Copies of this chain bind each other. A is one copy, B any other.
């Protein structure tokens, strides 16, 4: 079992630079009403967060719900020796911070410069109380997150390294498809370490698995941040069950 290492200790420090609420970027711009198509978000202000800054950390009082307008954020939890599990990558259009706990239960860190629309929790709850359709949408959104979390658990608990990585591509591919972009071109706004921590692997394993998939012709890598999927059918088979790669 892994034990404390200097790097690990360092990574904790990076994860929680001031150990508290304060690392939000202060720049807050009023959003012109009617700017967003979704009614709940019209009045939200916009916050900008630089790469690697934290939006919030575990234990902070929950103040807002955020919607990623551009950029990317990861939600993660850490063990006290620094091992990190990334729970979710929140990309453009994703909402962070639903959930009814009074304090945040995860850390949220920007992977790149990110713009977020912010909705105060109090506003959201008030809307939910006055309008059951809002409450029900909240319930549905949370429901989707729960399904995703359980799928993630299945992946990390039962799949081997290759299967996990392929699943990861599959998730991003599906996401592209839903948004009308090319499902075979995967942009990776996160580092290999982030991918490793998302999949419950180590960076070396992730790197080797990338290489293996590339050598086998399943993927092509232009820049490290872009993966082209080849032979999607076969990839699908790799992910679904009997992978013997």
By a CB distance below 8 angstroms, the chain B residues around A146 are: 99, 142, 145-146, 149
B136 & A244 in contact (Cβ 8 Å cutoff): no
By a CB distance below 8 angstroms, the chain B residues around A25 are: none
- Enumerate A41-84 residues with CB–CB distance to B below 8 Å: 77, 79-81, 83-84
CA distance A83 to B153 in the complex (A): 13
B128 & A77 in contact (Cβ 8 Å cutoff): no
Interface size on A, as a range, is: 35 or more
Between A and B, 24 residue pairs with Cβ closer than 8 Å are: A3-B242, A3-B244, A77-B150, A79-B158, A80-B240, A80-B241, A80-B242, A81-B241, A84-B158, A85-B153, A85-B158, A99-B143, A99-B146, A100-B140, A100-B143, A101-B147, A106-B150, A125-B136, A139-B142, A145-B146, A146-B149, A152-B153, A157-B199, A157-B200
CA distance A125 to B137 in the complex (A): 12
* A93 contacts partner chain B, Cβ-Cβ < 8 Å: no
Q: A158 contacts which of B83, B106, B241, B245 (Cβ < 8 Å)?
A: B83
